[in-house]
A = this chain, B = another copy of it.
Amino acid sequence: MQFDNSRPIYLQIIESIKKQLARGELQPGQKLPSQREMAAELQVNPNTVQRAYREMETMGLLETLRGQGTFISNRPGLLPEIKAELAGGILNRFIVEMRSLGLNAREILSLVHQALEQEEEGKR
């Protein structure tokens, strides 16, 4: 994985795990690599991974079982929450970009509508 210099690495690790969850690449209840393993994989300081894991535990995204490891939380509603959060971010960035082209709400909605319809036609 490549990190972006503009944001703290631990935040990028968190975001990456959220995306993997949303895409189904990670499942609730699944065991994560140990902090040491993850740090080695990402070529990052173990302290950085620890910070990411700690924050995700605080958010209720992970659960740590002493001596067993760290797991994606099984808490009901987790996945929808994550998806909603990610979707919100994507949505905001999208609207900002479209606005910067001088498009108003009606035009943006209309373009999204068209694009989705064309996609449907493409499938047929």
Copies of this protein in the complex: 4
Whether A97 and B101, one on each chain, are in contact in the complex, defined by CB atoms closer than 8 angstroms, is no
In the complex, the chain B residue whose C-beta lies closest to that of A79 is B102
Task: Give Cα A87 to B58, complex, Å.
Answer: 25
Contact residues in B for A95 (Cβ distance below 8 Å): 112, 115-116, 119
| Interface residues, chain A, with chain B CB atoms under 8 Å away | 19, 22-24, 58, 83, 86-88, 90-92, 94-95, 97-98, 100-103, 105, 108-109, 111-113, 115-116, 119-120
Interchain Cβ contacts under 8 Å between A and B, 14 examples: A22-B102, A23-B101, A24-B102, A86-B101, A87-B98, A87-B101, A90-B94, A91-B111, A91-B112, A94-B112, A105-B119, A108-B112, A108-B116, A112-B112
